[in-house]
Structure 1
Amino acid sequence: MDNPNLEPEKNRRQPMTLERPKKLKILVVDDEPDNLDLLYRTFRRDFQVLKADSGVTALQLLEEEGEVAVIISDQRMPEMKGTEFLSRTVPQFPDTVRIILTGFTDIEDLVEAINAGQVYKYITKPWDPGELKGVVQRAAETYDLLKQRTEQLRRAHAHMDLLAVLVEVTQAGSGLEDTLKPIAQAFAETLAADGCILQLMEHNTLIKTQGVYSESGIIKNWLAQDPLTQEAIASKQMQLCLNIPKDSNLNSVNYYDDNNVKAHLVIPISYRSQILGILSIQWQESCSLREDELNMIHLSAELVAIALASACCSLKEK
C-alpha cells in the first residue's frame, strides 16, 4: 500500500483542522452583581464566559452546558459556600480547574479544599485584574494540557484495541465474508465514525462482497459512484475530505447530502500492489485527523490487507 504521508499530488485532498479552535469555556460565580459583571468583562475576550449568581444556579448551569475549563467562584455566598459548590463539581468534572475568590480569613475551609484537590488556587479580594487574568490563563493551559494527555492516552488505547481486533481476525482464519463486518466495526468505533464499509474488489472493480457497520444500523453503499472512492482507486492512495459542505467537488453529490455525511475517508486496501478492497469511513460531522491517527490507519490497513489476502488464498485452496 502506498504511503499516505508521501508528498501529495496536486489535486490530492489532505487532512487538516478545518475549524479554528473554539474559545475555552469558563464559569464565574458570585452573588454580587457588580463582581459578576466585572469577572465577565475581564475574561469575555479570551474565553467563552458563563456566569451564575449562586452555587445552586451554577450547578444547574453545568448540567445544561457540560464541562468547563475553569471555574472561578466567590467563597462567601448565601445557600452554599464556594468551597462546597466546587467540591460538588469534582465527581462529574474532575478535569476542570477551580479557583476560589475570598475576602475573609476562613482559612480552614480553603486549606481543606486545596488539600483535597478541589481548588487550584485562591485569590484574595479585592483582586488585581492583571494577576487574576494571569492565574486564569495558567489554569486554562493546565486544563488544556491535561485534556490533550487524556485524549492521547484514550487514542493510544483505542488504537491498540483496533490492532488487537485486526490481529485476532487475521489469525482466526475465518471465511472471507466473516472477517469484513468485524473489521468495519473496529475501524468505526476506534475513529468515532458513524458508518464504515469494507468492500472487496476484483480487477479494479468493486464487487458485492462487503462488510457494513453503522451506529444506526442503516447505511447505503454507493461507493461505486463516489468521486472520492474513484480517486482512491485510481491513485492507490488514501483520500479524504473532512468538511464536505466546503468542498466544491463533493458538496453537490446527492449521497452526502441525503445521508448527512460531512466527512469521508477512503482507504485502498492493497497487497503486493493489488487493490483487494476499499475501506470507507464516514462521519456526520466535519472533523480533523492528526498525523498519528493517519499513521495508525495506514498500519491498520496493511494488517487488513494481510487478513484479506490470507482469506482469499484459503478460498482458492478450497
Structure 2
Amino acid sequence: MNEKRKFDVLVIGGGPAGLTASIYTSRADLTTAVFDKGDNTLDKAEVIENYFGFVDPISGSEILGRGRKQTKKFGTEIFDLEALSISIDDGYTVETVDGEFKGDGLVLATGVQQKKPDVENLGSFEGKGVSYCVVCDGPLFRDKKCAVLGSKDYGVKEALKLNEYTDYVSLLTDGKEVDADQRLIDRLDENGIEVITDPVTTVFGDQLLEGAIVGDEEMELDGLFIAIGTSGTLDFALKLGIDIEDGFIQTKDDLSTGLPNMYAAGDCTGGERQVSLAVGEGTEAALNLIEDLKGESNQDWG
C-alpha cells in the first residue's frame, strides 16, 4: 500500500462537475487529485445534442474523455480509484485501496447511482432506447412509442414531461400501485397517459430497443425511461455529518457543505441532471474553494 500523498485539493468524482472543478483548481496552481471509480452514467449517453458549442451531437464518453485530457493538461492527477472513506484531521484524508491521500480542500462530485429495476436485458439497451433522463433524451423520441417505468411522484412527473414530446406515453408501475400526489395522478388522466400495473419482466430488440414484456403481453416500445429514484453513494457524507435529503447532499447557496473547505457540485446535490448544470456547479464550487484556500476567507478547522 502506498504512503499517504499530499495535495491541496481532493475531488471525489470524475464526471463533468468534478473534472470542471479540477480544471479550475489546477489552473489556480493548487495541486489537485481526482478520484474516479469509473461508473459515470454519462458514459452510457450515446447522443448529447443540447450542450453549448457543439452543433453536432457528441457522446457522453467523448465529453468525459475531453474533460480528463483537459484537466491533466493543467497538472491534475486522476486516480481510477474509489474513495472508501473520508476523515477530518486538520484537512481531509481520503482512503482508497491504493493508500491514503491528504488534502486541504475537498469537492464532492460523486454523482448519483440510478436504482435499476430487475428487468432482464435492461443494461444491454441503455443508451439504445433505455434512458434515465427525460430532459436529456426526451427530444430524441418525438412522436415515438414510449413508456416510463416508475410508480411514485418522480415517475409520474417524468411521464408528464415525456408527454410534451410524444402522445404515445404509458406509465409502467411494474406490479405496484401508483403512489403519487393525487394532483399528478389527475394529470395522467387529463393527458391520456395509460397506467399499466403489470410486472415488467424483460426488454428486447435487435440493435435498438423494440419492446418489453409487460405481464403476459409484448409491448412495442421505441423508448423506455427508468424513473424509480436514485440510490446514493454518500455513506461517507453521512458519517461526516453533512446534511442529506432524499439521497442528495444539501448545500448552502455557495455550494459549501458546512464543513471547512468542502464543497459539493453536480448531480449529487439534486436538481436536473444536465451536463451544463454540473459544469456550472463545478466551476462555482472550485472558485469558492480557491478563495478559501488562497484568500482571506480561509476557514477555521476548530
Which protein is bigger by CA-based radius of gyration?
Answer: 1
TM class, shorter-length: under 0.3
RCO higher in structure (CA 8 A, sep ≥6):
2
- TM-score in terms of structure 1 length: 0.23
- TM-score in terms of structure 2 length: 0.24
- Would you tell me which structure has more strand in proportion to its own residues? 2
- Would you tell me which structure has more helix in proportion to its own residues? 1
